[in-house]
Amino acid sequence: MEQLALVWRAMVLDRTSNADVRDLPGIAVRWADSRFAFWNAVTLTEAGVDAQLLERRLGQVVDIMRSKTRPGFLWLFEDLLGSEARATLATAAERAGLEFAFSGTGMAGDLLPIPEPVHPDLTFVRVTSDEQLRDYADLNSRAYGFDLEDGRDGLVGSTLWKEQVYAYLGLRDGVPVTCAGAVAADGRLFVVLVATDPEWQRRGYGEAVTRKALYEGAQATGLTRATLHATADGAKVYPRIGFRSNSPIGFYGLKG
């Protein structure tokens, strides 16, 4: 949760100086109001939340989300909830006006450095131009089901991604088919926006390009610990690199 709040502060401010970046009691708002929904995020920040407090916080989250122009997600780290709150989460979310979108898993590991990765199908290139950022955005859009212009709104033109994120494309016969980034955050490398073109999934491309981003990030920074937020599919891959699961994450959007 702390990694999300830290990294997303930089990511949303990178898109607009008018981003809503607030740390409220029990709630962190990281909302760029971007067409790229991943840059519009709210998360709960307290540990041991009971059922009554959960109801109140979810109501506050819905009020925040309804005040925005663009849709986004509540990222809910379930291990922050007490046992009663976890048991009532589904009904509490529904009463508040939220609907479950998809699940994820927080993962971390003291796994760096790692050997420089190779894949027989891929050539790796670091993202340093807007054209490469557009390719990176398009891969994420195709992988996660966004319109291409939504992904481009989230990345194209970013100086942060070209200079501070160790962002890599994996090229197959010169065509970008996979991508991953890593950024230094509070003594760790945080892995962000890993995606593979649906046509080329299940070939080890996502794992290979994630290893490349981690390898280059570790070489540049000397950091040894890495964290990420995995989708259900990614959670099956990252243990092969050395990550271990910690908190389940539920992603929620506004109903309707």
What local confidence, expressed as pLDDT, does residue 233 receive?
82
Domains in the chain, start-ordered, CATH in brackets? 2-105 (no CATH), 123-223 (3.40.630.30)
Q: How confident is the model at residue 11 (pLDDT cuts 50, 70, 90)?
A: very high
Res. 256: pLDDT tops 90: no
DSSP assignment of 187-255 equals TEEEEEEEEE-GGG-SSSHHHHHHHHHHHHHHHHH---EEEEEEETTHHHHGGGTT-EEEEEEEEEEE-
**Structure confidence by residue, pLDDT tens digits, 52-98:** 999 999 999 999 999 999 999 999 999 999 999 999 999 999 999 99
